[in-house]
Amino acid sequence: MERRITILKLATLTAILAALSFIPMVPAGHAYNNTAIWQIGFSGNCNNPDLCGPPFGLGGFWGWVEFDQGGVGDATLSECAHLVSDTPPLSGAQGFLIEIENWYVAPGSAGPMTFFVPDGTATIVGHTGGPPVTVPLSSILAADTGFPAVAGHYSTDEILGFSAPGVSFQYQVVQIPNR
């Protein structure tokens, strides 16, 4: 009896798999907007009090940027500073939700191919001392992002020009193919 049940289970499973093979395949979804042409993942961490003293303090930042066709894009950035101040936003964690406008590539701090973001807005959430606040991007970040517009992986030495204990910076710049 047990053998019949096992054979029946196998026959049922085979029939299900055979039926599924006739279902048309759905194309894979895109993880990014269909106008995305660049993506950057980045992080910076400093736990060396000799190098990361005031005004910045110990801590780090972590984020992601998508540059789309038409000069627009999105970014998300989280940061956390420690031992700087008890006054928000100079200590604790917060996030930035960024809408990018008018990005372009030009010579800058990351070389002859540097991303610039002169316009946009940032909504600051988290340790702000109140509700989320939306501000012009230019009020909190320079237009020169410091990100190279050349695909590749960039580490502390390449980004800062030196390395030290307790200091780690990483950029991963990807040009999305076929766009």
Averaged over successive runs of 10 residues, the pLDDT of the chain (179 residues) comes to 42 38 36 78 89 74 94 91 57 85 95 95 80 89 93 93 92 83
Q: Using an 8 Å Cβ cutoff, are 73 and 109 in contact?
A: no
Counting Cβ atoms within 10 Å, is residue 40 exposed (0-12), middle (13-18) or buried (19+)? buried
Q: Which two structure tokens, joined as six digits, stand for 28?
A: 């894979």
Q: Tell me, what's the pLDDT at 55?
A: 60
Q: Using an 8 Å Cβ cutoff, are 65 and 39 in contact?
A: yes
64: enclosing H helix or E strand: strand 58-68
Helix count (H) and strand count (E) of the chain? 2, 11
CA-to-CA distance for 69 and 74, rounded, in angstroms?
12
Query: Smallest Cα–Cα separation from 151: which of 41, 69, 71, 62?
Result: 41
The pTM score is 0.73
Q: Tell me, what's the pLDDT at 82?
A: 67
End-to-end Cα spacing for the chain: 60
Q: Tell me, what's the pLDDT at 169?
A: 92
113: enclosing H helix or E strand: strand 111-116
Q: Which two structure tokens, joined as six digits, stand for 27?
A: 């194309």
